[in-house]
Structure 1
């Protein structure tokens, strides 16, 4: 967190800077708590300025485990095939309010979902944000999906040029994702 304040001019009084540090730490802890509640595996938050721009963005990595489907006799069957899940997501009611597409990431079926989420001040989201989620089926395990969720406020408008550039960067990151088995 110290690097987030490294570019603050030396002439700013400490009593003005301390409340900002406290607020940044509070928001960081809240973001981590939210990620934990969502069973996130990784949380990435930029803490440095890029030039003179604060990159208001985050990436959360998680795993989605799909339940086994029930057979007509009531017994559990294996998890739905990735193509069936993709079809459900692409044709669901929520797909009407967002951009949903399918493709492949490193040979695995992938879904990309993009939307603008409104501000929800009581949950700490004072600004609307642009969200892009990638759901990538884990090869050889139809019940597991890798999920990468990206969010940005851009430069204050989730549809501005900075938001567009950050979404383009995230798409480039995801399209170059490769599975690695150890």
Structure 2
């Protein structure tokens, strides 16, 4: 007598575990402080999103903090017009906002096509009384939902505050 496969999602769970392992390994290589992954679905459709928090340490050669406008200029130069970069004011103070698209090697290996890059939104927030920057990197992998998710990411970043 043959028994039916009681767990039809074994392969999917294995793939998900591998994906989470890859994501956390990649985040650890980037010295992530925290990582948040959305697991919500609406009407049975998953709505993926993530937030990775990292820090850019202070440059010991600099005696004072780099102004946000100079950091914004450096980010613009780095992406050579492929990113929308601005200086914005959020609850935590003046920050640099960078929106861009990227298809990382990790996602290519998972089969994400070149025509479907992730939309990334980064906020560089100055850490009080230091030259360091806290970096919030939001990711919206579904192009069709990216604009709506970016609005949500902006709202989340706008509420960020430092407390003593």
Q: TM-score range by the shorter chain?
A: 0.7 to 0.9
Shift of 1:60: 0.1
Q: 2: distance between equivalents of 1:104 and 1:83?
A: 10
Change (3 A) 1:95 1:179: farther
Q: 1: distance between equivalents of 2:44 and 2:36?
A: 20
Structure 2 residue matching 1:168: 3-state secondary structure:
helix
- Structure 2: runs of 5+ lacking an equivalent: none
Q: 2: distance between equivalents of 1:61 and 1:125?
A: 25
Alignment partner, residue 74 of structure 1:
none
Conserved 8 A contact 1:136-1:145: yes
The partner residue of 2:119 within 113, 130, 133 is 130
Change (3 A) 1:90 1:61: closer
Alignment partner, residue 55 of structure 1:
47
Query: What is the root-mean-square deviation of aligned Cα atoms in Å?
Result: 2.3
- Structure 1: runs of 5+ lacking an equivalent: 1-11, 70-76
Q: 1: distance between equivalents of 2:44 and 2:123?
A: 29
Conserved 8 A contact 2:69-2:87: no
Q: Name the count of aligned residue pairs.
A: 157
Conserved 8 A contact 1:89-1:95: no
Q: 1: distance between equivalents of 2:49 and 2:140?
A: 4
Structure number with the bigger relative contact order (C-alpha 8 A, sep ≥ 6) is 2
**Relative to structure 2, which stretch is displaced further, 18-27 or 42-51?**
42-51
Conserved 8 A contact 1:90-1:101: no
Alignment partner, residue 136 of structure 2:
148
**Relative to structure 2, which stretch is displaced further, 128-137 or 98-107?**
98-107
Runs of 4+, deviation exceeding 3 Å = 12-15, 118-125
Alignment partner, residue 46 of structure 1:
38
Change (3 A) 1:21 1:14: farther
Q: 1: distance between equivalents of 2:103 and 2:67?
A: 30
Conserved 8 A contact 2:35-2:52: yes
